[in-house]
Structure 1
Amino acid sequence: MESVSREFVRAAPRLDGMVVSAVGYRTRGERPGVHRGLPSPYLTLIFSLDGLVVTGATPEQAGTWGAVRTDIVIGGLHQTPAYVVRPEHEAGIQLAVHPLAARALFGVPAAELAGELVTPGAEVMGRRAAELRELLCEQGGWQERFASLSAYLRQRAADATSAGSVRPEVGEAWAWLARHQGVGTLRGLSRHVALSERRLTTLFRAETGLSPKQAGRLMRFQRARNAVVRPVAAGAAPDLARVAAECGYYDHSHLVRDFRQYTGASPSAWLAEECRNIQAGSHGGGEE
């Protein structure tokens, strides 16, 4: 039987904050199954270098005709897990993209990507994206691939003219939520950007597909998830009560409820499922 090998390579995107993290991955000898792609406050962009990425809203859908099959994945902001078929071998590059960079990099606001769990990337980014994927498959090293992908995205951002711009109030609202790590009131946020709560929510949702409260919850959950993962990566057990207190949850049970919504499992069950990936280094940074 083929031994299991996992390779994860991180790169500094250097794209003016538009891309939060970039990871190249290659695995061999995995037991086929289904992986949970968790919600986060970032968009997902994947260029597969080894076959199609197969995704569903449920584990059952991921294994049927109803699954989305594409070699370039764009994932919008969502609040439930996406279930991704894990084949015996896979490879690709996964980016966590700032949602307010969607207009520049994808040509549409992030809200237009929120209706579907996954959108085939070539439908959004066009033929040039498919040509880039072919180039990435042909290239021999991760640094060369990262350089080609960065150059492509920089050119897309430079050429972006028809997608419009993000309203400054929405940009400042997102920055405020990020500074407060998802903990804060809508009243405080609306006062900060000098808009009514209703007007701010309307503009924010039109740009991102989420309300400010929903975006804040995702930011808080991502912070908590990373805090839970860190000790596991070091071979220790996480202190969930401490994580809950540090991340702004009312109590331990409040943290568990968010985990169940965003992962479909309790923290302990999710950690048991993901332990090998965490130890291999596939979690951390902006996006898993």
Structure 2
Amino acid sequence: MAPKQEFVRAGPLPGGVVSAVGYRAVRPGREGTRPLHRGLPSPYLTLIFSLDGPVVSGFTPDQATGSDAISTDVVVGGLHQSPAYVVQPDDETGIQLALHPLAARALLGVPAAELTGQLVTHGPDVLGRGAADLRCRLTEATDWDTRFAALADYLEKQLATHGDRPRPRPEVAEAWTWLARHRGAGTLRGLAAHVALSERRLSTLFRAETGATPKQAARLMRFEHAKAGIVRATAAGDGPDLARTAAACGYYDHSHLVRDFHQYTDLSPTAWLAEECRNIQAGGHRNGGG
């Protein structure tokens, strides 16, 4: 029997939530080792409330399937530069949010930089007991509208709780806006001139807030834009033109796009598409701001 997958996108949510998608997958009749899903780097933070059991993951396939796997029901993930490997259970239900890194202080109570250096963080360690309580409410709810309403209420309370936290420096906020406007294709020199800081000073401030350098953030944005274009072409039944995509997204050439795919997915673009074809057809990649 073929797997059944459902993806339901929430309406606008408060506080720098780029997207929120409810998901459910049922994979009947599988035997043997559970396959792994690649959680790809993106310009956004990740918040997952898993409703069927813990998310089990690792930096490598061996870690994800071994005794030192990372397991948590509420996942908080910072910006990272390589894929995370996630065990796919037979049945899974949850809500995954993409959060703007500069909203981390207001929603999570810490700057995004504090989430770097580890694959994921146990949600209640960052968010407190309220995150575990919300997960229980989401698990007990019987429809997506009720779950999304509970999530919106929780986010509003988080914003009220952390409303007096210092905001990111305006130079960093403007730098992120500039990079996003250029979809990662601008230069560090042009960015530094735009915010009237030296390249070194800007890089220091930017990394202290987000956990990534401007160059790393730009690469993530450029890759996200390219991947979104490839996904759209695939969903429409067209074969993606990688050379044209590379040129449209500001890559120097086709080989640089392939290089980024290898870094961020551990696969070539063609191999990644083959692996993700079913998810793309089901709408599983309509997440984030790509």
The CA distance in 2 between the partners of 1:128 and 1:164, in whole Å, is 22
Q: Is the 8 A contact 1:13 1:21 kept in 2?
A: yes
CA drift of 1:150 comes to 1.1
Contact 2:10 2:19 in 1 (8 A): yes
Deviation digits for residues 219-254 of structure 1, max 9, x if unmatched? 000000001111111222111111001000111111
Q: Percent identity?
A: 66
| Dislocated runs of 4+, deviation >4 Å | none
2:5 corresponds to: 6
63, 66, 69: which one pairs with 1:61?
Answer: 63
- RMSD of aligned residue pairs (Cα, Å): 1.3
Whole-Å separation in 2 of the counterparts to 1:8 and 1:53: 17
How many residues align structurally?
A: 286
User: Structure 2 CA distance, aligned partners of 1:269 and 1:84?
Assistant: 18
Q: What CA distance in whole angstroms lies between the structure 2 residues aligned with 1:171 and 1:91?
A: 34
Between 198-207 and 229-238, the greater mean CA deviation after superposition: 229-238
Which residue of structure 1 lines up, in the alignment, with residue 24 of structure 2? 26
Which consecutive residues of structure 2, in runs of 5 or more, have no partner in the other structure? Answer: none
* Alpha-carbon separation, structure 1, partners of 2:25 and 2:289: 18
3-state SS of the aligned residue for 1:12? coil
Counterpart secondary structure, 2:18: strand
Report the Cα offset of residue 285 of structure 1.
Answer: 3.4
Partner of 1:265: 267
Matches within 5 A, 1:59-98: 59-98=61-100
CA distance in 2, matches of 1:215, 1:89: 34
Contact 2:184 2:218 in 1 (8 A): yes
Deviation per residue, 1:78-107 (Å, 9 max, x gap): 000000000111000000000000001111
Contact 1:13/1:150 (<8 A) preserved: no
CA drift at 1:159: 1.4
TM-score by length of 1: 0.97
Normalising to structure 2: TM-score of the pair?
Answer: 0.96
Q: Distance in 2 between matches of 1:181 and 1:231?
A: 19
Question: What code does the residue aligned with 2:17 have?
Answer: V
SS of the residue corresponding to residue 223 of structure 1 reads helix
> What secondary structure is seen at the aligned counterpart in 2 of 1:21?
strand
Letter paired with 2:23: Y
Give the CA deviation at 1:65.
1.4
- Would the aligned equivalents of 1:6 and 1:28 in 2 still touch at CA under 8 Å? yes
C-alpha displacement of 1:287: 6.5
Matches within 5 A, 1:125-144: 125-144=127-146
| CA distance 1:221–1:78, shift in 2 (3 Å) | same
Worse-superposed segment, 271-280 or 6-15:
6-15
Query: Which residue in the other structure is 1:148 paired with?
Result: 150
Structure 1 residues 140, 166: closer, same or farther in 2, change over 3 A?
Answer: same
Unaligned runs of 5+ in 1: none
**CA distance in structure 2 between the aligned counterparts of 1:128 and 1:14, rounded to whole angstroms:** 18
For residues 60 and 216 of structure 1, the distance between their equivalents in structure 2, rounded to whole angstroms, comes to 30
Aligned match for 2:231, one of 226, 229, 232: 229
Equivalent position of 2:222 in the other structure: 220
C-alpha separation between the residues in 2 aligned to 1:277 and 1:161?
A: 38
Match of 2:200 among 193, 198, 201: 198
Cα displacement string for residues 189-215 of structure 1 (whole angstroms, at most 9, x for unaligned residues)? 111111111111000000000000100
User: Of the candidates 37, 42, 45, which is equivalent to residue 43 of structure 1?
Assistant: 45
Contact 1:95 1:287 in 2 (8 A): no
Superposed counterparts of 1:91-110, under 5 Å: 91-110=93-112
Deviation of 1:161 after TM superposition, in Å, equals: 4.6
